[in-house]
Amino acid sequence: MILILFFLVLLYCSTQTSGVSIQIHPNNTNVILTELNKTVSLTCESDGVAEGDNTLVWLRNNAKINLKEENKKGRSTVCITPVKEDNGATFSCYLHSNDSVKASVTLNVTYHPQLSGSENVTFEIDETLVLQCDMRANPLLLSMSWTLNGTTVDLMAGGLSVTNDGVTSVLRASKVVRKLHEGTYECTATSPVYNSSSKVFNVIVTEKTLKFPLMPLIAGVVVVFVTTLLAVVSRWKKIIKCCK
């Protein structure tokens, strides 16, 4: 009887020391959905360590997070505020004494391009027209569209091109022509989850200004003046000599 009890106690103790479990709260299928500028608080708890070192360690993508001494024992909380470039970042927690049991969560930070307002932009005839809109978003945009005076830009007719590299959408015309390019442009970002946002550009086309090469001109004038002066001076000496 006593022997059985002894074994039970032994069994209990061994499950207590080796059956360590680490949990992070909240933990919705290991992905936490959040938004830019929000706050996320994660708590890690270790269960089953009756004795020994129950110091916890937190990692953000394999880099250790500095924790205060009182925020390490058995239970530890990290606060990400505000959430910034943390999309896809993985936070994991384990016991300092045994890193074989780890709990992890990954952040899914959603955001939408902050497109708003209107801007006046001036281009000279024959200049390169370039308009840019931010298109970084999570989830990815369904589309980024450009309109001119309210209708979809006619790339062929306008000699325009649109390039999207996932970071910015760029509308470009290599040579500005007033009747083709003056007007009101708008870029619109359409998302599967957010309301669409857009930005307006009022493009004004001005006459070419004569870009005079002023500095070389001044330098040239100075050189001519000085040479003439020197010539006159040396000539003057000769003239004076002659008269003596």
Q: Using CB under 6 A as the criterion, which residues of the chain lie in contact with ligand NAG when the complex forms?
A: 18-20, 31, 33, 36-37, 98, 100-101, 108, 110-111, 114, 139, 148-149, 180, 182-183, 193
* CB nearer ligand NAG, residue 192 or residue 213: 192
* CB nearer ligand NAG, residue 101 or residue 170: 101
* CB nearer ligand NAG, residue 61 or residue 228: 61
In whole angstroms, how close is the CB of 110 to ligand NAG at the nearest point? 5
DSSP string, 77-115: EEEE-S--S-TT-EEEEEETTEEEEEEEEEEEEEB----
Pair 168, 133: CB distance under 8 Å: yes
In whole angstroms, how close is the CB of 218 to ligand NAG at the nearest point? 40
Pair 62, 99: CB distance under 8 Å: no
Q: In what order do the strands lie in the sheet with 40-47?
A: 21-25, 40-47, 75-80
Residue whose C-beta lies closest to ligand NAG: 183
In whole angstroms, how close is the CB of 209 to ligand NAG at the nearest point? 21
The HSE-up count of residue 11 (CA atoms within 13 Å, CB side) is: 6
* CB nearer ligand NAG, residue 43 or residue 98: 98
In whole angstroms, how close is the CB of 43 to ligand NAG at the nearest point? 21
Q: Omega of the bond prior to 213 within 30 degrees of 0, cis?
A: no
